[in-house]
Structure 1
Amino acid sequence: MHSEYEYNVDMHNKCCGGRFWCIRDICGIICAILTWMLILYAEFVVMTVILLPNPYTVYSVINIIVFQILAFLAFASHLRTMFADPGAVPKGNATKEMIQQMGFRKETVIFKCPKCCSIKPERAHHCSVCQRCIRKMDHHCPWVNNCVGENNQKYFVLFTFYIANLSIHSLFLAVNQFMACIRHEWKECTSYSPPATVILLLFLCFEALLFAVFTAVMLGSQVQAIWTDETGIEQLKKEEARWAKKSRWKSIQAVFGRFSVHWFSPFTKPTMKSKSEYYLYPV
């Protein structure tokens, strides 16, 4: 009976046999797929309209390498943000038996979430979409179909960082291609007709400019939240800091780890779990 209960708890918001975290929200799934399609569209236009037909080999090769690296890291960061547990508190662990097993003193004040019946740790907030309490929840982002919290904030920061740089690079290439086509009077500019080329480049410029501004703003807000050790929800609610605020450097290390090249990699885990709060993590 007990093992069956633990299995049901562990399987909540999980897929592929519990290996991945996944939110079954139709709006979030549509937004995530749309994100992938926009990245693929930029890939298609940059490669087939701008770089591959370009007669300057060095220019093409350098920009192809830069663009592909940025696109790959942006896509990987998005997937890691989307399929990583953001810091969910085990659901249904606020039972009388569980509290007794955890050895809390009688005078200890325990906060219980009435929506998911979990012991609510400090700085955790309940997400109505994920239907879970998330540790250090910053916000729920439909574009990654997940909450941004303690365990995946690094991936989300990297996603906004790489998308912003990818958008700026795409915008530079599109504007440069426009100028080259006008200069050569659209002769041997691309393999597409002038009207088709104009439409493809204009949409790429619009997409790149929009996402460059949007992700740059999100990146700035995330960096500011990490810098001040205060999540977006805490800033919005103007909550009084009842927790011991970390120094700026310690707050950055809590998200990214010790300074190294791994800061920029979406393939390394960002934070370590506190052994003193083992009951807040899935077993």
Structure 2
Amino acid sequence: MHRSGVTMAWNVFRFCTALRGLGSIMILLVLGVVGVTYYAVVLTNYGPALYEGGLDSVTALAVVILFHCLLVMLLWSYFSVVFTDPGSVPPNWRPVVDEETGGADVLNGSEFSALHSEPSNQRIRYCRKCAQPKPPRCHHCSVCGRCVLKMDHHCVWVVNCVGALNYKFFLLFLFYTFLETTLVTLALLPHFIAFFSDGEIPGTPGTLATTFLAFVLNLAFALSVLGFLIMHISLVAANTTTIEAYEKKTTPKWRYDLGRRKNFEQVFGTDRRYWFLPAYSDEDLRKIPALQGLEYPSKPDFDSQEV
């Protein structure tokens, strides 16, 4: 029994290590798909069409401009997720209120010291792996090896955890990826259909193969990302994360569900100018504690309902 437990822990460690190594490859894969797509759309098909004149040139210009705008936003959002720390527990952070269970007792110094001798204390959440208390909605990531504020999941595509400080950027990455891949799919659809026609198709075998590959890849990404986007929109609407949605399956009420508009503002802020940008206004960062990942408002009548 003990032997199998050690084997399981070792296998999990190997799996987490493999995910860390896989991350760099995934970034290169993303850039590779972007490169193939750029070659097929801009350099092979719609770039040359700019010089043909007439309606074809106008259509090509519209496609090229929209393609580049979405690509800039996609890459900006993507690298914002990659390089933004999702949020870690500050050194010497001390819980004041039991946020998870709704208790209103202040945790004094002697009670906090008792945590080190009694980590099983249920009054606050405590991470045995990090040997520290956990803020509300915080979870330990086995891949990163640390606690992450409002952790949603660890994403190998971005080589990072998705948490409180980069969740908005991740959603925008999904949003702009869906728009970009949908645009590419529609733009290359006539060329894809031409592959199966009896007429002669202009271009070299290499350019034709690249166009075919770009169409298939972007169609696959558009369909798969759409599913993730719909799922995360529903999570934002309920002010929950992927982990919390799984954990509270048997919970009829959710203390952090403040209504769709306020739930949305907990992730995107209140300044509409920044809603579609992977950034926040200084005012939102000052006025909305949830954007810092440590404090979250809950329903004012939640405690009375629980009683």
**Deviation at 1:232?**
0.5
Give the conservation status (yes or no) of the 8 Å contact 1:51–1:60. Answer: yes
**Deviation at 1:38?**
0.9
- 1:272 and 2:285 correspond: yes
Q: Which amino acid aligns with 1:73?
A: M
Matches within 5 A, 1:1-283: 25-54=20-49, 55=52, 56-90=56-90, 93=92, 104-105=107-108, 109-179=123-193, 185-186=199-200, 189=202, 192-193=203-204, 195-238=205-248, 240=251, 243-268=255-280, 272=285
Q: Which digits, 9 at most, give the CA deviation of each residue in 1:71-97, with x for residues without a partner?
A: 111011000011111122136x37xxx
Cα distance in 2 for residues equivalent to 1:99 and 1:246: 23
Query: TM-score, normalization: structure 1?
Result: 0.77
Q: Identify if the C-alpha distance between structure 1 residues 267 and 38 changes in structure 2 by more than 3 Å, giving closer, same or farther.
A: same
Q: Identify if the C-alpha distance between structure 1 residues 46 and 132 changes in structure 2 by more than 3 Å, giving closer, same or farther.
A: same
**Deviation at 1:107?**
5.9
Does the residue aligned with 1:140 lie in a helix, a strand or coil? strand
Q: Identify if the C-alpha distance between structure 1 residues 278 and 267 changes in structure 2 by more than 3 Å, giving closer, same or farther.
A: closer
Q: Which digits, 9 at most, give the CA deviation of each residue in 1:120-144, with x for residues without a partner?
A: 0111110011112112211111101
Greater relative contact order (Cα < 8 A, sep 6+): 1
Q: Which residue pairs with 1:20 in the alignment?
A: none
Worse-matched range after superposition: 137-146 or 195-204: 195-204
Give the conservation status (yes or no) of the 8 Å contact 1:36–1:75. Answer: no
Give the conservation status (yes or no) of the 8 Å contact 1:137–1:148. Answer: yes
Give the conservation status (yes or no) of the 8 Å contact 1:118–1:133. Answer: no
**Deviation at 1:27?**
1.2
Q: Which digits, 9 at most, give the CA deviation of each residue in 1:136-172, with x for residues without a partner?
A: 2111111011111111111001000111111111111
Cα distance in 2 for residues equivalent to 1:253 and 1:277: 9
Cα distance in 2 for residues equivalent to 1:141 and 1:34: 14
Q: Which amino acid aligns with 1:65?
A: I
**Deviation at 1:205?**
1.4
Cα distance in 1 for residues equivalent to 2:180 and 2:293: 40
**Deviation at 1:244?**
3.8
Cα distance in 2 for residues equivalent to 1:269 and 1:84: 16
Worse-matched range after superposition: 137-146 or 29-38: 29-38
Q: Identify if the C-alpha distance between structure 1 residues 120 and 52 changes in structure 2 by more than 3 Å, giving closer, same or farther.
A: same
Does the residue aligned with 1:243 lie in a helix, a strand or coil? coil
Q: Which amino acid aligns with 2:61?
A: V
Q: Which amino acid aligns with 1:165?
A: L
Does the residue aligned with 2:267 lie in a helix, a strand or coil? helix
Does the residue aligned with 1:53 lie in a helix, a strand or coil? helix
**Deviation at 1:180?**
6.3
Does the residue aligned with 2:150 lie in a helix, a strand or coil? coil
Q: Identify if the C-alpha distance between structure 1 residues 135 and 180 changes in structure 2 by more than 3 Å, giving closer, same or farther.
A: same
Cα distance in 1 for residues equivalent to 2:281 and 2:165: 8
Cα distance in 1 for residues equivalent to 2:266 and 2:180: 27
Give the conservation status (yes or no) of the 8 Å contact 1:90–1:280. Answer: no
- Structure 1: gaps spanning 5 or more residues: 1-23
Cα distance in 1 for residues equivalent to 2:139 and 2:95: 20
Give the conservation status (yes or no) of the 8 Å contact 1:167–1:212. Answer: yes
Cα distance in 2 for residues equivalent to 1:279 and 1:149: 8
Which one has a bigger Cα radius of gyration? 2
Cα distance in 2 for residues equivalent to 1:142 and 1:125: 17
- Structure 2: gaps spanning 5 or more residues: 1-18, 97-105, 113-122, 296-307
Q: Identify if the C-alpha distance between structure 1 residues 181 and 30 changes in structure 2 by more than 3 Å, giving closer, same or farther.
A: closer
Give the conservation status (yes or no) of the 8 Å contact 2:149–2:293. Answer: no
